């Protein structure tokens, strides 16, 4: 998780897009609290993590983000026989997080009519996707 967060933090456009994220309200619980889905909770926790990283130069433990990941994706919270968190595959976490961001971070709008189709793409598709053509 740490390697993925550090890698993605190095993309300023992504940091800015995540920091602008506002969860869509999906409903209300019986007590008036607003409910959002798990992917939005993860995206919002990443937003909070980026905001906290912006105000400190000290080492930082993203506990809110970690707790949200563990709650929404229990396989990342698995423990060994000694009760320690198990090592997780960085690629598996990368793919999961990119899918979450793909669902929740809209693409940047373009005023250029020739790129109108790119307006429908997510931020992740625009910045991390590739277009391939066969010849």
Chain segment 17-58, per-residue pLDDT in tens: 999 999 886 555 555 555 678 899 999 999 999 999 889 888
Residue 40 backbone dihedrals phi, psi, to 5 degrees: -70, -35
Which residue would you say has higher pLDDT here, 116 or 134?
134
CATH number at residue 92: 3.90.70.10
Q: How confident is the model at residue 134 (pLDDT cuts 50, 70, 90)?
A: confident
For the CA atoms of the chain, what is the radius of gyration? 17
Do the Cβ atoms of 98 and 124 come closer than 8 Å?
A: yes
Chain segment 71-105, per-residue pLDDT in tens: 999 999 999 999 998 888 889 999 999 999 999 99
Is 10 contained in some domain?
Answer: yes
Residue 77 backbone dihedrals phi, psi, to 5 degrees: -110, 10
Quote the number of domains for the chain: 1
Is 63 contained in some domain?
Answer: yes
Is 124 contained in some domain?
Answer: yes
Is 134 contained in some domain?
Answer: no
Is 15 contained in some domain?
Answer: yes
Cβ–Cβ contacts within 10 Å for residue 125, how many?
15
* Beta strands 27-28 and 34-35, pairing class: antiparallel
Chain segment 102-133, per-residue pLDDT in tens: 999 999 887 664 554 555 789 999 999 887 78
Is 85 contained in some domain?
Answer: yes
pTM above 0.75, yes or no: yes
User: Which residue range(s) make up the domain with 72?
Assistant: 2-128
Is 135 contained in some domain?
Answer: no
């Amino acid at each position: 998780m740490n390697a993925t967060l550090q890698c993605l933090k190095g993309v300023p456009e992504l940091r800015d897009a995540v920091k602008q994220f506002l969860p869509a309200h999906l409903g209300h619980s019986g007590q008036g609290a607003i409910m959002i889905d798990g992917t939005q909770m993860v995206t919002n926790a990443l937003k909070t993590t980026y905001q906290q990283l912006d105000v400190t130069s000290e080492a930082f433990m993203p506990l809110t983000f970690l707790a949200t990941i563990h709650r929404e994706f229990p396989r990342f919270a698995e423990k060994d026989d000694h009760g320690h968190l198990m090592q997780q595959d960085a690629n598996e976490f990368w793919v999961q997080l990119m899918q979450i961001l793909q669902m929740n971070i809209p693409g940047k709008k373009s005023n250029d009519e020739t790129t109108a189709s790119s307006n429908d793409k997510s931020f992740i598709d625009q910045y991390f996707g590739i277009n391939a053509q066969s010849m």
